[in-house]
Amino acid sequence: MRVVALDYPADFEGWRRGARQALMDGLLLEDIEFRVKGDAPTLFMHQERGPPQAAQTTLRVPKEFPQLAKRAICHCDPERFRLLYALLERLQGERALLGNRADPLVHRVNVLAKEVGRDKHKMTAFVRFRLVEGSQPEHYVAWFEPSHYTLDYTAPFFMRRFTGMHWSIFTPYRSAHWDGAVLSFGAGASKQDVPEDDKLEDYWRTYYAHIFNPARVKLKAMQAEMPKKYWKNLPEAGLIQTLTHESEARTRTMLANAPTLPVVREAAAPAEMPENMTSLHGVRQGLEQCEACELCHGATQVVPGEGLGRAAIMLVGEQPGDQEDLEGRPFVGPAGDVLSRALQEAGLERGGLYITNAVKHFKYTMRGKRRLHQRPEMAEIDACRWWLMQEISLVKPLVIVALGATAHRALTGQSPIISKARLGLAALELGPQLQTSYHPSAILRARDEAEGTSMFAMLVDDLRTASSAAGSSQPVRQRVSGAHVL
Ligand code: URA
């Protein structure tokens, strides 16, 4: 029996090294025990031994496997290490296995990964930091009890979200620490390690009361999303009932007030920075690994930008739709048809542009069997902004056309009224000029034909404005297509 020692319950690197070596040595599943430091040895029942395996010299796995395994290994199911080993073993002979969701092993590992994804989501929503009194530099700590071993997988999210803060998150099995530069992990702790009284709680309550949106209160849904076990760590939980009682009056006030302009946010780099960020090809590869927000879990695939690598004009849409999500290319569905007609009228060729989206994964909600588009939240736009900035700095367009409010927001941090924002070019700090216009989907949703025709004419006008601002000296060097990247 070979014992593969793992440092902690979600030690993917330890598992990878041990599993790789065991498989290369031709060991069968029943010849290995994965044992987490501090755990008692497992008592295996006698198992039938299969035929010995041939030792392997190289192991090959599809590129989705490491991501899937990294997630599934965080599950609290004690069988997870062995399931992953069995999967790794079968992948050597069955290259397309991961695509077969009906296979019981593939299905089970995907279920583990999905449940971990949900646990991560809960952690990102319910972790509350408290200031350590007298800490210098100021240090914030949080206590959280995840349902799985999700800390390592989720900590990079907090690193991106709170880059400027020094913080620690303690869980019963492990802790994560960020000092503004390095993310490190240590032993688990208990709730007593987190300070009780603090200014931050008051601050958080004030903030929560301020952002509380009474129009969105659905107590049943909140309780489903926010199980009671998390409530005790949430300083705002006590406020919810009071705020709900006041909600009718507050809804009226909210509607009467003009919307506030959000502040421009920084484009934070993804936690696991892809290596080759000097080409659009590298950006595409990096995007395939991106898990900076939850949208990656529901989408079929990421939809990167496509077009001329040095296009003078870049079009930025909102996010892929249903069709784009299935095809992996931007603007290939109904909105793409409207866009193609507008481009043609404006005398622009789609192939001469670079077309991308502010958010690169499809966000939707299920209605029966249909996937209905949902507008991305600011946090999702923020999470994806870094990629958009990479695309801009590589393509170096002279003019960017923001199609709709989300694209405008991603580029400027401001919520526009499109009819006003489109009146003229603006200068972006990044260099290119900005022309804002209507999103093709807004044209499809126009109240009547007259409104649709008029919006379409404005979109054509705006594309013409962009075209003349870009001039005829359009440097063309590199083409990036949906399927093949040069
Ligand atoms: N809407 C967008 O904003 N982008 C697409 O790619 C498709 C529809």
Give per-residue pLDDT as tens, 67-93. 899 999 999 999 999 999 999 999 988
What pLDDT does 197 receive? 54
What's the 423 CA to ligand 1 centre distance in angstroms?
22
In this prediction the pTM is 0.49
Q: Quickly state the pLDDT bin for 160 (edges 50, 70, 90).
A: confident
Report which of residues 36 and 161 the model is more confident about.
36
* The most confident of 157-166, 254-263, 471-480, by mean pLDDT: 157-166
pLDDT grade for 482, boundaries at 50, 70 and 90:
very low
Residue 176 is predicted with a pLDDT of 93
Could you tell me the pLDDT band of residue 45, with boundaries at 50, 70 and 90? very low
Question: Which helix (H) or strand (E) is 166 found in, with range?
Answer: strand 166-170
Cα 458 → chain centroid: 33
Q: What is the pLDDT of residue 236?
A: 53
Asked whether the predicted pLDDT for residue 215 surpasses 80, the reply is no
**Centre of ligand 1 from the C-alpha of residue 299, in Å:** 14
For the residues 308-317, what does the mean pLDDT come to?
96
**C-beta 320 within 6 A of ligand 1:** yes
Are β-strands 139-143 and 166-170 bridged in parallel, bridged antiparallel, or unpaired? parallel
Distance between Cα 335 and ligand 1 center (Å): 7
Alpha carbon distance 244, 237 (integer Å) = 11
Summarize the confidence of residues 426-452 as an average pLDDT: 93
319 lines ligand 1 (CB under 6 A): yes
pLDDT digits (tens, 9 = 90+) for 129-149: 887 777 788 888 888 999 999
Report yes or no: 298 and 363 within 8 Å, Cβ to Cβ: yes
Ligand 1 atom closest to 329 (CA):
6
Highest mean pLDDT among 27-41, 249-263, 451-465: 451-465
Give me the chain's average pLDDT, please. Answer: 81
Query: For residue 326, what pLDDT is reported?
Result: 87
pLDDT over 70 at 214, yes or no: no
Which H, E and C letters describe 315-338, residue by residue? EEECCCCHHHHHHCCCCCCHHHHH
Q: What percent of the chain has pLDDT over 90?
A: 50
Mean pLDDT calculated for residue range 424-428: 88
User: Ligand 1: does its nearest atom lie under 6 Å from the Cβ of 356?
Assistant: no
User: Residue 418's pLDDT is what?
Assistant: 96
How far is the C-alpha of 185 from the C-alpha of 173, rounded, in Å?
11
Establish whether residue 335 lines the binding site of ligand 1, counting it when its CB lies within 6 angstroms of any ligand atom. Answer: yes
pLDDT, residue 268, reads 58
Does 390 sit in the ligand 1 pocket, CB within 6 Å? no
HSE, side-chain direction, 13 A CA sphere, residue 429: 6
Residue pLDDT, tens place only, 228-276: 565 555 555 555 555 555 544 543 443 344 232 233 345 555 655 454 5
Distance, in Å, from the CA atom of 470 to the CA atom of 475, rounded to the nearest integer, reads 10
Q: Which of 162, 160, 156, 171 is nearest to 139 (CA)?
A: 162
pLDDT in tens, 394-420: 999 999 999 999 999 999 999 999 999
> 16-20, 293-297, 378-382, 439-443: lowest mean pLDDT where?
293-297
Block residue for tokens 């690193």: 159
Comparing 326 with 442, the larger pLDDT belongs to 442
Q: Which helix (H) or strand (E) holds 307?
A: strand 306-308
316 within 8 A of 384, measured Cβ to Cβ: no
Q: Pairing state of beta strands 433-437 and 313-317?
A: unpaired
> Which of 221-225, 296-300, 359-363, 476-480 is least confident?
476-480
For a substitution probing ligand 1, which of 322, 323, 325, 331 has the most ligand atoms within 8 Å of its CB? 331
Q: What is the mean pLDDT of residues 108-116?
A: 93
- Angle at CA of residue 151, ends 148 and 156, nearest 5°: 140
Predicted local confidence at residue 201, as pLDDT: 53
**pLDDT the model gives residue 99:** 87
* The pLDDT of residue 460 is above 90: yes
CA distance 89 to 299: 28
Between 86-100, 219-233, 425-439, the lowest mean confidence (pLDDT) is in: 219-233
Q: What is the pLDDT of residue 271?
A: 53
Instruction: Name the least confident of 119-123, 266-270, 375-379.
Output: 266-270
